Chain A
Amino acid sequence: MLQVLVNSLALGSAYALLALGFVLILNAVNAVNFAQGDLVMAGGFVAVAFGMLLPVPGIVLLPLVLVVMALIGRALAAVAYFPLKSRPPVSVFISTIAVGIILQNLANALFGAEPRAAPPLFAGGLVELGGIVVSRQALAIIAVAAVMIAAQYVLFQRTALGRRLRATAQDREMAEALGIRVNHVIAATFAIAAAYAGAAGLLLANTFFVTPTDGGNYILKAYIAVVIGGWGSVPGAVVGALLIALFEVMLPSLPLIVPGLAGLPGASWLFSQTIATILLYLMLLVVLVVRPQGLFGEAVQRRA
């Protein structure tokens, strides 16, 4: 039971980094970055590539992945956001889909379609902790993600750059009229968002491997997390991501936890990954229709 919990927490932490990046861009420019999932995939492959060059644990690669992904994020802003910033938000939606196609096929051309694994953060294997056996990687993912989420919090709440990022997200024109170079701030937002997605890619690419087509799955997770958590809410996105992962891991594991369930007719069909995903989407639709402000209420009003 606890083991399942640790696993879902690990998956959820990685989703949280992804969703965090998604919501940062959403707040900064009021546009959906559909390439966010492909950035996770790209981060995974960047980690794979560095892993081939340097035989070191993943934690050492993390800073390298963050830097490369930040640059990719900056480039994403340059090609898919800035040329379109005075057009309707749907243009950015489509342009980021295009960037997603490029990233996906670039990965395919460079690495091939087979699943690849990035090096583990510290070491693989299992560790016994208070009587239960959990994977080292899962614990490491939780730790790294927690540190990064905390870092994001500190950056946004306690630094001058963070103030400018938030001010720009809340009222772009006013921020600019107060001397903030809004374009620089937006570029920084894209860089941070991409770096966080890349980190998620590194974290996931050991346990779950990485293939060029992974992006579509991840963007949906980010999207759902942000809707569940409340459109535009940063803490909501983190909580939403954790809930998604909990559900995804828990449902297929239910027969292992609750005795007797496995014996029911159709159990293997019902308690499957696919059913979990279908239920997730159906829940999403229900949330969208019944409670579009998200499960936890609306994000703080953008404008006074």
Chain B
Amino acid sequence: MKETPLSNCERRFLLRAIEEKKRLDGRQTYDYRSIRVSFGTDYGCCVVELGKTRVLGQVSCELVSPKLNRATEGILFFNLELSQMAAPAFEPGRQSDLLVKLNRLLERCLRNSKCIDTESLCVVAGEKVWQIRVDLHLLNHDGNIIDAASIAAIVALCHFRRPDVSVQGDEVTLYAPEERDPVPLSIHHMPICVSFAFFQQGMYLLVDPNEREERVMDGLLVIAMNKHREICTIQSSGGIMLLKDQVLRCSKIAGVKVAEITELIQKALENDQKVRKEGGKFGFAESIANQRITAFKMEKAPVDTSDVEEKAEEIMAEAEPPPEVIAEPVLWTPGTAQIGEGVENTWGVLEDSEKEGEDEGGSDEAVLPDDVKMDTAEVSNVGSQDAPIVLSDSEEEEMIILEPDKNPKKIRTQIVSAKQEKAPSKKPARKRKKKRIVN
């Protein structure tokens, strides 16, 4: 599908707004849109959001034989993909000019700046080295792809862990993650791209242009820098003449921005590591609601079984006798029967008793570590309940049911006649008019 053209009036408006130091989304000249970094459940998977632009990064590794002229160096491979999902104008499977330009810029930014120690990726010189592959997918396009992609690439690389390898004589052993903890890549520094858009032959400058600003800009300057203020790549495109002062000023701004972004990335990485260590929900799992039965699938958690017997006996001794449950079949209509705790739903009761579950019940929940307990408790609730009802009193639900709140309003406004709906009104210059539908 063709790209939506930019109308003359949009172009004129944007340029006039830039002259007045105003931007469409209310940002200042040097402001970035809000950046959000979230991680997947796997190592080396992340999503970076820069305003509405979203990039998914995924790192993978493989043992390959090295290049002939670099026998002791691992191989780095970057690939950015612009799918149609991001914008309808992107064609799948075609190397557009934009894509080639972005890919080369990324390679220059990340490979040529030697931010990753490729020598440490060597397993057996001349025979086996690690090939690290960074796949970046643009999920939504709202301008400034290169900044989002460079952040996603470096975050994914920092987050990635490769399997541990040991070499004894001629024998190479690859350890599974269960045997030995995977090792992170050694990263010297984090180069991050910062884009500057120039308008009116370099008169005006904007940081982090969005899609519409990118369309009216005259030139683009991309500076890749790390937090030590070392320039890794610099590229000017669009054919404008930049003065020395302008480039210097841009590099100063880039230094500030890179410091901020690096801090944000490190904070995000630390957070993720902390949550992973504690065994709580991390990555995308955070955003999966516990609403569906399929969402309850969980991996086996290690259970501390050192003093199970004593503990169980202690619990049994302390606990009150279990409540009387009469498992009587209830006959609803001829031919159907229900067996269970009774007619009423007893979930609320179960949920309540969960808090004192440690000293009561004597079930297997009591010996699980704290953080896993909640989840398993909910799982067992579902198991004990024969009706396939979704959990109704979990906390997540309150956040999810946002739509019904909106609905009443919608109903109000949408009970309108289709006739009038199809007659757009113009106020106040053009008067409202009604049009009859021609059947």
A and B held together in a complex: no
Which residues of B does A touch, CB under 8 Å? none
